[in-house]
Amino acid sequence: MNALIKRNLFYFVAFILIISCKKDHLQPPSPGRMIKNFTLEAGQYGSASIYSENENYKVLVRVKPDANLKALKPIIEISDDAIISPASGEVIDVSVNKTVTYTITAASGQSRKWEVEFRIFETNITDYATYSIASAVNSRVMQVTGNSNFNEKYLDNAGMNVAEAEISSGENLNRWQEWHIIYNSTVAGVKYYQIRNLFSGLFLNAGNGSAAGLPIKQKWELKNTNDVQLWKIEESTQEGKYEISNKANGLFLTMSGNGNNVQITQETKLNADKQKWVITKLPNDSYRDGDVTNFFNRTTGSVAFDQGNSIPLSDGRVLWVTQDAWYQGSLAPNGNLFGNHFISYTNSVIIQPSATNWSPAAPMMTADGRANGGIGNLIPKYPGKTWSWPGAGVQIGDDVYLHNREGQGLGTDDDHQSLFKLSPVTANHWKTERLAPAGLTASEKLIGYASGMVKANDGFVYVFGTRTDPNSFGFETYLYTARYPQNNPLDWTFWNGNAWVATASIVSNAHVAKGKGTNFVSYLNGKYIHLTMEQGFYCDIPSLKMYIATSTSPTGPFINQRMVYHFTEFYKGSNARVYTPLIHAHADNGKRELLLTYSINFGACVNTGDGAIKESDGNYDPYYYRVKGVRIPYEMFGL
């Protein structure tokens, strides 16, 4: 045969072989017998958990407390071609044991039993409370990372890890290990929460992107488009252990790494203990208020300062009084304060648009002839003095009456005290008038009346003063009370322990309370509130705390003094100078929490000429000269 014939014969034989081998192969019946989705027509909370445990197949369905357990109607999605008994859509009664067993039979005839548990969703997580969040792996609690001696735990963008619980007092932990869980909203029947650290006042924020493995950080609260700060907290299949997932990306809080390299990251669902958390309710604790603290992070007008008294106005606005302040022209492009500048003026006034508007862009009060665009030294300096330091005040009618000290250096025996009357010309432009009540002038060398001013319902304004115990080196003080009629601010009288007299007395009977290093008094809910703080302006103070006592009378006695806040403010590894603790009783956040503020100062006992350390750019970090806000639950001091 020639080659062509051979080749054709080969192809023919191959074709015959191929078609002779072709057969029809039928697919065997599917063995699939899975539950893919389980939802109730009504009464379900969140999504069902579908899982296997030791070859047992289970579904956990969380139901709302008001669900009718005698008539639940499940809608069940199962494997293709399988059948389920009881049928999907068939009403069931689980009121007795809260479980039901379903049998799924595959097309292949194989069957599988599924135990479905219906658990009443009664979390111990309320709409607002304090908690610890501990890993189910090792019981270590979630905390903010960083060196507290350098204030790193306060930083925006600080990370998270876990550590052994550190007791602060009673049941409470160090605040960087305590968390507020705050109800935010409900979407499709699922509750979402914000999680705020009590130490920093910042909020748990999902990783910077939707990728798994990114670290969880703390951030300033996002007021809009805040899904990255909203978390679903859902009990896992293990009772008492919760899974926490982010609304924006659906990823879960996960303890990643081991040993000293543990961090909290966002990961896809693993059904593993490293994604399970034991959430324990703690007694309510004091905490930093991020909104209030950020209010003082200003870039216009006065941008860094101390003091911070507040005076609520009848139109809903609030005056905030600063003392020594830096003007906006001292801000470097990166937000630091120029290292070759100093304070621009010794006082100014910020006008908060409302008691709940914490935007740091609040305008400044102006007056004719003042420095820096009319805002600097709003309360003018007294002739021959280098500063005016206004503080406590009240509004009477349209006018504001403000206590003021006038002096030089850090204060001398020759300082003056006065009462300034501030009157509005326009909304933000005011005029000032210096008043010199005879009784205040006669008493100004004995007692400094800068420790609070309360407009009472009896027609008087009560003014509180402090005198340092001369034998205490500034660590102990005495509190005194003066008053003036609301219709005559020049007529001051002073409590001597028995009566109101024309001149202040420093006899022991005149003391209405004994204080620590500094004092301030305010009024709320029928109680005069005495805030006192240990001396915080000296070097190397080992511990610094604030205390509150209350009284039904402006003349005391102030009783049941309780510690309400323990400071952890440091400056470059040394204790920061902390001073001017103040009460802002008007600042109601709806949570029964009292707002306090305090000042810190660059001078933190470091060995430099001015007691301040410059940053790498040769400038100063304004954090260390801005007022901070903290909230104290009323229950901590018996209000």
Q: What is the pLDDT averaged over residues 572-578? A: 82
Residue 435 pairs with which residues in a beta bridge?
419
Q: Which residues contact 605 (CB under 8 A, 6 or more apart)?
A: 539, 540, 574, 575, 577, 611
Query: What size, in residues, is the chain?
Result: 639
pTM of the model: 0.84
Relative to beta strand 231-235, strand 217-219 is unpaired
Residue with the two structure tokens 């920061």: 576
User: What are the percentages of helix, strand and coil residues in the chain, rounded to 5?
Assistant: 10, 45, 45
Distances (CA, A) of 585 to 123, 198, 299, 374: 33, 20, 27, 29
Model pLDDT, residue 347:
98
Structure tokens at 232: 């679903």
Model pLDDT, residue 10:
46
pLDDT level of residue 259 (50, 70, 90 thresholds): confident
Q: Is the omega angle on the peptide bond into residue 215 within 30 degrees of 0, that is, cis?
A: no
Domain ranges of the chain: 35-120, 128-285, 288-636
Model pLDDT, residue 608:
59
pLDDT at position 524 over 50: yes
CA distance 149 to 368: 45
What's the CATH architecture for 128-285? Trefoil (2.80)
pLDDT at position 250 over 80: yes
pLDDT level of residue 604 (50, 70, 90 thresholds): low
Q: Is the omega angle on the peptide bond into residue 581 within 30 degrees of 0, that is, cis?
A: no
Q: Which pLDDT tens digit goes with each residue over 151-192?
A: 999 999 999 999 999 988 888 999 999 999 999 999 998 999
Q: Which value, in Å, is the radius of gyration of the alpha carbons in the chain?
A: 34
Structure tokens at 91: 């009403």
The 3-state DSSP class for residue 145 equals coil
Structure tokens at 327: 């003007």
What are the DSSP calls for 388-425, one per residue?
EEEEEEEEETTEEEEEEEEESTT--TT-EEEEEEEEES
C-beta of residue 234 within 8 angstroms of C-beta of residue 46: yes
Q: What is the pLDDT averaged over residues 217-221? A: 97
Q: What angle do CA 389, 391, 396 make, to 5 degrees?
A: 130
C-beta of residue 106 within 8 angstroms of C-beta of residue 114: no
C-alpha closest to that of 550 among 493, 635, 466, 477? 635
Q: Reduce the secondary structure of 583-625 to three states and give it as a string.
A: EECCCCCCCCEEEEEEEEECCCCCCCCCCCCCCCCCCECHHHH
pLDDT at position 214 over 90: yes
CA distance 486 to 230: 49
Model pLDDT, residue 492:
98
Q: Which residue has the higher pLDDT, 183 or 575?
A: 183
Fold of the domain built from segment(s) 35-120 = Immunoglobulin-like (2.60.40)
Model pLDDT, residue 538:
76
Model pLDDT, residue 25:
54
CA distance 600 to 627: 7
CATH class of 288-636: mainly beta
Type of residue numbered 85: S
CA distance 142 to 219: 16
Model pLDDT, residue 171:
82
Task: Give the count of alpha carbons within 13 A of 75, CB side only.
Answer: 7
Q: Which pLDDT tens digit goes with each residue over 1-60?
A: 444 444 444 444 444 444 444 445 566 778 889 999 999 999 987 778 888 877 899 998
Structure tokens at 576: 């920061």
